Homo-oligomer: A and B are copies of this chain.
Amino acid sequence: AYGTKEESAVRPIGRYPVPNKKDMPYDIVELMEEVERKAGFLPNIFKVMCHRPAEFRAFFAYYNVIMKKDTGRLSKADKELIIVATSAENRCPYCVTAHAAFHRIYSQQPARADQVIVNWKKADLSDRDLAMLEFALAVCRADNITEEHFQKLERHGFDREDAWDIGMISAFFAMSNRIAHFIDLHPNEEFYRMGREKGEA
C-alpha cells in the first residue's frame, strides 16, 4: 500500500480511499515506483489520483507536457514560483507545500517561496519575476486578460509563447488546487522540510 506508516496512523491523506498497489494498473504502478525512487517518497497526489486510473493518466500526462516542456524562458524555479503564488491565492495546502519545496530545491533560495506565500508583492523578487507573477495571478483570478497584460510581460522580456506557458501553468493549477480541495488532499510531511538549507538537492 502507499500510505506511509506514520501518516496512516494519524489520519487519511484525503477523503477518498487509496487503492492497494496490487489493485492498480501496471503502467500506474510503474510510474509511481519511478517517482518514489527519484524523490525518496511518493507525493500524496499520486496516491489519491489512482482512485481513478483514467484520470490519473490524463492528469499526469497534461502535467508533464507543461512542466517538462523545455523551450521558452521559464526556468524550473520560475514554474514552481508560479504554482506557489497561484496556489497560495487559492489557499491550497497540498500544492503550496509541495511546490514551495520544489521551488526551494530548484532555486536554492530557501526563503523565497515562504515570502511569496505571505505576500508576493513584497517578496525579494526581480521586476521580471513580479511581472511573471502578476500575469499568473490575473489568470488565476479569471480576470479578463487584455493586450496590456501581454505588453507588460513583453517589457520584461517575455514573448507571447512565454505568456502562454505562464497562463497555462496558472490555469492547470487552478484545476489542481480545486481537485486537492474536494479530495481534501494533505501534503506529505517530507515537503515541509525539503530544501530548507542552501545546497540541498
Residues of A within 8 A of B (CB): 15-16, 51-52, 54-55, 57-59, 61-62, 65-66, 69, 88, 90-93, 96-97, 110-111, 114-115, 117-119, 121-123, 139-140, 142-145, 150, 160, 163-164, 167-168, 170-172, 174-179, 181-184, 189, 192-193, 196-197
A142–B111 CB distance below 8 A: no
Q: What are 16 A-B interface contacts by the 8 Å CB criterion?
A: A16-B160, A16-B164, A54-B69, A55-B66, A58-B65, A59-B62, A91-B119, A91-B144, A93-B122, A114-B114, A121-B144, A139-B178, A142-B174, A171-B175, A171-B178, A174-B178
Determine chain A's interface SS by DSSP, over half rule. Answer: helix
A58–B61 CB distance below 8 A: yes
State the CA gap A179–B193 with chains docked (Å): 31
Residue of B nearest to A110 (CB): B192
Shortest distance in angstroms between A117's beta carbon and chain B's nearest beta carbon? 6
Shortest distance in angstroms between A123's beta carbon and chain B's nearest beta carbon? 8
* Contacts beyond the supplied A58-B62, A91-B118: 12 A-B pairs with Cβ under 8 Å: A55-B62, A93-B118, A93-B122, A97-B115, A110-B192, A111-B192, A121-B144, A140-B178, A164-B182, A171-B174, A174-B174, A175-B175
Shortest distance in angstroms between A83's beta carbon and chain B's nearest beta carbon? 13
Shortest distance in angstroms between A16's beta carbon and chain B's nearest beta carbon? 7
The 6 A-B pairs of least Cβ separation, nearest first, read A167-B182, A175-B175, A171-B178, A58-B62, A91-B119, A111-B192
Given contacts A93-B122, A181-B139, A181-B145, contact A189 B111 (CB under 8 A): yes
Residue of B nearest to A171 (CB): B178
Contacts of A168 in B (CB 8 A): 55, 179
